[in-house]
Amino acid sequence: MSGFVVSIFAGLLALAALVFDGSRLVSQRAALDDHAANAARAAAQEIVDIRLGNERIDPQAGSVAAHRYLAQHELFGSVRIDGLNVEVTVVQNVRMTLLALAGVGDQVVASTREVRVVDE
């Protein structure tokens, strides 16, 4: 009987660890989605050559704006600018708390968001 109780308890503890750390991963992913989109929007505001009819995002100024946003939120990422498109990828390690007891190490969470400037 005591072996059955121990195995049920171990199973419930493993389930609780999955729920707790799994929800932290989902929450962090949602936060990174927002930050990647906001950084891309910051970069997209650096439009040049509007009067020439050849609108484009200044690659250097856009990259600086996106990286500045990420730095303000203590995040790191990559920025790719092509014409009127901006793509920002943010990557972060998330430390496992309960799953670490079972030997599961840090998990990498990443998000990529793209912004396209539309001139209508």
pLDDT by 10-residue block (mean), the chain, 120 residues = 80 79 88 97 90 87 97 96 96 84 83 89
- Residue 105 three-state SS: coil
Contact indicator for 13, 102 with CB cutoff of 8 Å: no
| pTM, full prediction | 0.81
Which residues neighbour 114 within 8 Å (Cβ) at sequence distance 6 or greater? 40, 85, 86, 87, 88
How far is Cα 52 from Cα 37, in angstroms, rounded to an integer? 28
Q: Are strands 85-94 and 56-57 parallel, antiparallel or unpaired?
A: unpaired
**Residue matched to tokens 């109780």:** 5
Note the pLDDT of residue 48.
87
Note the pLDDT of residue 1.
66
How far is Cα 81 from Cα 83, in angstroms, rounded to an integer? 6
